[in-house]
Structures are given as structure tokens and as C-alpha cells.
Homo-oligomer: A and B are copies of this chain.
Amino acid sequence: MAALKGSEIAEHNDAKSCWVIVHGKAYDVTEFLPEHPGGQKIILKYAGKDCTEEFEPIHPPDTLDKFLDKSKHLGPVDMGTVEQEVKEEDPEEAERLERVAQKPLLSQCYNLHDFEAVARRTMKKTAWGYYSSAADDEITMRENHSAYHRIWFRPRVLVDVENVDISTTMLGSKSSVPFYVTATALGKLGDPEGEVVLTRAAHKHGVIQMIPTLASCSFDEICDARKGEQVQWLQLYVNKDRKITQRIVQYAEERGCKALFITVDAPQLGRREKDMRSKFTDPGTNVQEGQETDNSQGAARAISSFIDPSLSWKDIPWFQSITKMPIIIKGVQRVEDVIKAVEAGCQGVVLSNHGGRQLEFARSGIEILAETMPVLRELGLENKIEIYIDGGVRRATDVLKAICLGAKGVGIGRPFLYAMSAYGQPGVERAMQLLKDEMEMNMRLLGCNKIEELNSSLLDTRALFTHSSTPPDHLFGSAYESLATPAQRPKSKL
């Protein structure tokens, strides 16, 4: 088959006949347009053109093979004949590249905050918008971290802490640390290699990785990157088409995944305004409509239309029938639902508000944990289920507080993404090492040798439920015009 010419493809540039180029091959997506989860608008923008750059980070490489009939694969393109789009010079992008050139050395990053600060300065605006954004006024996202600040330690002294061991067991697997890499979508927005970077770093440090449904890499790529006894779990968004879900789950088990985390806090993916704003491009001056609110809603919603909002407790037995992996409900937010999970025979729950990206004013995982454990103990259920939490973790002290309160492990998402986006795999490794160093030291300072010695008597949580100092509402505050005392009068001109 002779390579196609750019001019041929360029003729198929509208909804009637829509061809696009991806990685040097042409595809006829005309019939696929109405099915595209992200809407047809975004594809039509590239009708007759090369859309590789836009396509790459948000689609696993096997996407076209999986979802587009072979008959629509038009074959290789002579890329020399494709007209290069002359990009306008973008002063913002130029400034960003300058910031990249001047970024601090990796060895200057001393904690997880530092990676976020560097990533914020060096990531592309839209990628930063997707990773960093959260629901509504992002109060919940910040509360996730702030909540840890309302817990204080009651350390023991004069304990022999020469040897400290921070390894533990989660869902039957050994882990060198009581935290894991939780699932986050679209890794290629941060690093061209995507999630496998996290896999490799996790291997080096003996950290468990949870594989996201919405990865940029294909599931197989991420499994293939696994080494030795490395442990991976599967995070699952449940598809409206249960056959697809069954195929994903059973394939994951086959490929060696050790646990199934079913996400339940996202029957609809949240609106994230920072993400939406970062995507905004001015359509010109005469456009004044705007009543439709469902367009340009950011990356999150573009990729999630398949998620089944009808998923319910009734579906759990079916999952138990199709897999032997332990089943963990991810996104539980009240003790009543933890008890339901026990009753449903689940092996674990993740107390989480999805990184503050879904329901604004959902409480932090650490607060739900503090509500949950005493009730479980009262009911004698504390050993019937493993409790995990995620959200807002930046310091080893945060992890230790969760373990003291009764969590088996703590998921960390954005910080590793930021470390990867800023410095690639070495960044993620340093982030993990810093956490380990902090954790080992803080175990000593708490007077504990092993994870099992951590308990709630080491904490003062009296202030945890006092929400009186909520993170500030920046939009409300900036819209408000402060009162002012009377101004000076202008100087008389006489």
C-alpha cells in the first residue's frame, strides 16, 4: 500500500468525511465521531490534519486498535507531504520554557511540596490544570492536607529505637512502606513515558502501585514494566457495559494484579474549574452566547463518559463471582458504608474524597478514619476489613497519623505525579526516598520500632472535627470589595 499524501488527507476535513493522522498513519473516523467520549468537536478541530500531539497523552497506544474497526485504518502517510502547521509564537510557552531551563536541581527538593512548586512552574498550563485542579472552590482539596494539621503527636521517649522497621503488609502483599502509589489518570501529561515511570520507581523502592483505568499507557505496558516480586493493584471505573468490565477485571487477574479497587465516588466525574479555565481559548469578540454549560469541561469529563452511574451495592456479588482478587471499595465517605462493605464481604475500603476532585465539602479521609475506627471496634469488626485512606498527604507525619488511627496504608497520588512531571523517574525516586527518610526518623522520634506499635494513644485528635478554620474561599474573597476608611482628598490645585 502506497503511503498516503498529506493533500489527500486534507480533503477529508469535516464531519461528512473526517480523516486524521496519528503517529504517521491515517484513520477514517467519520463514523466514530458521534461515539467519541470527548465529543466530536475536538476531533473536528484536527479533521484532515495530524493530531498526534493532542492524541498522545490522553489515549493509551492501543486505543485505535481496540476501538476503531480495522477497515478504517487507512495506512501509513508520507509525512514529508503533510503541511506543517506554523505555530504562532506563544509568549506564555516561551516563558514556561525559560522556567524549565532555570528549574532547581533535583537535590534542592527536600520534601513533596517542592516537587509541586517546581511542577507548577514547569508543566504545560493545560497539563497542570488537569493534575492540580479540584472541585468547586478547591476547599476540599486543601482541607485534605489541613486536616492532618489538627492532629498532634504524643510521642514516647526513652525507648530503644536503634532499629526501626517501616515495612508492612497490605492485602496479603509485603510492602517496604505503609504507603502506595494510588491511581491517577493521564500520566503522559506529566512525562512522555507515562505511568511506567511510576512503575519503575515503585519497583526500586518496594512500593505497591495501583494501575489506573484511565492511564495514558496501555494496561499491558504497565504490567510489562513490573519487575520481580513487584506488586500491582487494579483501580476500576465500572463500565456501563459489564462485559467490558468483566474482560478488564479478569485480564488484570491473569496478568497478576493482586487486588481490585472499585471506584465508587465518581458516578459522574467532577467539574474542575481550574482545568476548564486552563483550556479556555478565546473564540473571538462577537461570541456572546454561553448558556450551554456542557462544552469544554476539561480533560476529566472528556474521558469518563463510559462510567456507570447506576453501580450499586447489588453489583458487588457479581464482582465476587468473576474474580478471586480481594475487592476494595474506593471512595467510601461515612462509617455506615464501611459497615456495609464488611457485610458485603469486601476485603477493604479506601476512605477518600477522590483528592477533593468530586464532591466539594466531602470530608477528608483522615477525618472519616477517625470517625470509623471507634465504631468498628465497638462492633468488633476492626479485623474484618482493611482500611485505607488517601488525599492530602505531603509528609511522613501525615502517613504516621493515619497508621496510628488504624489505617493499613495510605495512598499518595498527585505528589508522585508532580515529582515525575518535574524530574521524571529520578524525581519520583527521590520523593519516595524523602518520605522513607522522614518516616524512619519520625518512627524513632515517636518511640516506635515497628508499624504495629503505632496506635491512637500516640495522638491528640481533639481538634480534628473542629472545622472552624476552613481553607479560604479565594473566589468569594476576590469578588468581595473590602471596606476602606476614607481616602485622602486630592491636593487643592490652588
Q: Name A325-361 residues within 8 Å CB distance of B.
A: 329, 331-334, 336-337, 340, 358-361
Q: Among A363, A466, A483, find the residue whose CB has the most chain B CB atoms closer than 10 A.
A: A483
1/0 per residue, CB under 8 A from B, across A283-299: the answer is: 10101111111111000
Does A251 make an interface contact (CB < 8 A)?
Answer: no
> Which stretch in A16-24, A147-155, A166-174, A177-185 binds the other chain?
A147-155
A289 to B423, CA, bound (A): 10
Chain A 274-288 interface 0/1 with B at a Cβ cutoff of 8 Å (1 = within): 101100101101011
A478: interface (CB < 8 Å): yes
In the complex, chain A residues 283-331 whose Cβ is within 8 Å of any chain B Cβ: 283, 285, 287-296, 308-313, 315-316, 329, 331
Q: Which of A37-45, A81-89, A428-436 contacts B (4 or more CB under 8 A)?
A: A428-436
Separation in Å of the A348 CB from the closest CB of chain B? 14
In the bound complex, what is the Cα–Cα distance between A142 and B482 (angstroms)? 11
CB contact under 8 A between A475 and B267, given known A158-B312, A290-B106: no
B residues near A106, Cβ cutoff 8 Å: 288-291
Interface string of A95-121 (1 = CB under 8 A from B): 000110111111111110110111011
A466 touches B468 (CB 8 A): yes
Given contacts A438-B271, A486-B114, A468 and B103 within 8 Å (CB-CB): no
Which residues of B sit under 8 angstroms from A294, Cβ to Cβ? 437
Pair B441/A150 contact, Cβ less than 8 Å: no
B287 touches A160 (CB 8 A): no
Q: Which of A136, A266, A274, A310 is the most central at the interface, judged by chain B CB atoms within 10 Å of its CB?
A: A136
List chain B residues, Cβ under 8 A from A120. Answer: 479, 481
Chain B residues near A426 (CB-CB < 8 A): 288-291
In the complex, chain B residues whose CB is within 8 Å of the CB of A277 = 108, 110, 484, 486
Q: Is A373 located at the chain interface by the 8 A CB criterion?
A: no
Query: Which of A52-60, A66-74, A217-225, A442-450 lines the interface with chain B?
Result: A442-450
Contact assessment for A485 and B161 in the assembled complex, using a CB-CB cutoff below 8 Å: no
A159 to B157, CA, bound (A): 43
Residue from B276, B315, B478, B481 within 8 A of A484 (CB atoms): B478
- A25 interface residue per 8 A CB criterion: no
Given contact pairs A161-B267, A444-B309, A478-B117, A156 touches B273 in the complex (Cβ within 8 A): no
Task: Report the Cα distance A106→B137, complex, angstroms.
Answer: 19
A463 within 8 A of B: yes
Q: Which residues of B contact A333 (CB under 8 A)?
A: 153-157
Q: When the two chains form their complex, are residues A162 and B310 in contact, meaning their CB atoms are under 8 A apart?
A: yes
Q: How far is the CA of A426 from the CA of B277 in the complex (A)?
A: 20
Question: What 0/1 pattern do residues 369 to 385 of A give for CB contact below 8 A with B?
Answer: 00000000000000000
Cβ contact within 8 Å between A282 and B489: yes
A interface residues, how many (CB within 8 angstroms):
135
Instruction: State the CA gap A296–B462 with chains docked (Å).
Output: 38
Given the complex, which residues of B lie within 8 Å of A434, measured CB to CB? Answer: 293
Asked if A475 and B485 sit within 8 Å, CB to CB, the answer is: yes
Is there a chain B Cβ closer than 8 Å to A243's Cβ?
Answer: no
Kindly state the separation between the CA atoms of A287 and B105 in the bound complex, as whole angstroms.
7
Interface positions, chain A 455-494, Cβ under 8 Å from B, are 460, 462-463, 465-470, 473-476, 478-492
| A394 CB-CB contact with B under 8 Å | yes
Question: Bound complex: CA of A283 vs CA of B289, how far in Å?
Answer: 44
Bound state CA distance, A113 and B484, in angstroms? 10
Given A153-B359, A160-B311, 6 more A-B residue pairs with CB atoms under 8 Å apart are A108-B486, A132-B481, A136-B438, A160-B310, A288-B426, A291-B433
Subset of 25 A-B contacts with CB under 8 Å: A102-B488, A102-B489, A103-B489, A111-B273, A118-B486, A146-B473, A149-B361, A149-B473, A153-B359, A154-B363, A157-B332, A158-B312, A158-B329, A274-B481, A285-B492, A288-B423, A290-B423, A290-B430, A291-B433, A292-B433, A294-B437, A361-B401, A362-B445, A466-B467, A468-B469
What is the interface of chain A, defined by CB distance below 8 A to chain B? 98-99, 101-111, 113-114, 116-118, 120-121, 128, 132, 136-139, 142, 145-146, 149-162, 264-268, 270-271, 273-274, 276-277, 280, 282-283, 285, 287-296, 308-313, 315-316, 329, 331-334, 336-337, 340, 358-363, 394-395, 397, 401, 423, 426, 429-430, 433-434, 437-438, 441-442, 444-446, 460, 462-463, 465-470, 473-476, 478-492
